[in-house]
């Protein structure tokens, strides 16, 4: 009779353990359903370099980062970036991209500030590649 009771307890424990194990396995498998890098770490600020516009993309970058020093009668380094023609001239000469990309042999700009974001530099590069459109 004693062996019978032990056997019943074992069978009962197996019956209890089996559903618990199945539930744990299901939970573990479901927790892995969003293991795609794109879903786990979505890109918040994508850099759109298509349809680059001088007025909407390039001028805001120049205005915010350059014109505090490169404007007016006493523009730093005699480089004035107050309007489209002046910005285009700096871009055509290669100076604009060289200084914002911190290339060797050029004074890194903006002076005394962080390098422009990769997105801002990419926008200016695309604008140059498109032929400096004034749009």
For residue 93, being part of any structural domain is answered with yes
> Does residue 11 register a pLDDT over 60?
no
User: 81 with 24, same domain?
Assistant: no
User: 87 with 31, same domain?
Assistant: no
User: 73 with 125, same domain?
Assistant: yes
User: 60 with 97, same domain?
Assistant: yes
Domain span at 35: 2-40
> Does residue 63 register a pLDDT over 80?
yes
**Alpha carbon distance 91, 97 (integer Å):** 7
Q: Is the distance from CB of 91 to CB of 128 less than 8 angstroms?
A: yes
Mean pLDDT along residues 40-54: 80
Q: How many domains does the chain have?
A: 2
User: 91 with 35, same domain?
Assistant: no
Q: What's residue 22's pLDDT? A: 74
Higher pLDDT, 83 or 23: 83
Q: What's residue 33's pLDDT? A: 60
- Please name the helix (run of DSSP H) or strand (run of DSSP E) that holds residue 60, with its range, or none: helix 59-65
For residue 45, being part of any structural domain is answered with no
User: 59 with 118, same domain?
Assistant: yes
**Alpha carbon distance 72, 48 (integer Å):** 32
Mean pLDDT along residues 39-62: 85
Quick one: CA dihedral 50, 51, 56, 60, positive or negative?
positive
């Amino acid at each position: 009779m004693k062996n019978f009771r032990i056997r019943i307890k074992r069978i009962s424990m197996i019956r209890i353990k089996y559903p618990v194990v199945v539930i744990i396995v299901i939970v573990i498998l479901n927790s892995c359903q969003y293991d795609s890098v794109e879903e786990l770490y979505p890109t918040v600020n994508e850099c759109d370099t298509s349809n680059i516009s001088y007025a909407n993309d390039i001028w805001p970058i120049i205005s915010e980062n350059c014109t505090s020093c490169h404007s007016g009668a006493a523009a730093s380094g005699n480089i004035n970036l107050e309007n489209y023609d002046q910005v285009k001239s700096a871009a055509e000469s290669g100076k604009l991209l060289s200084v914002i990309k911190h290339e060797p042999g050029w004074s890194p700009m903006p002076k005394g500030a962080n390098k422009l974001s990769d997105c801002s530099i990419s926008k200016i590069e695309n604008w140059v590649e498109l032929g400096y459109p004034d749009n």
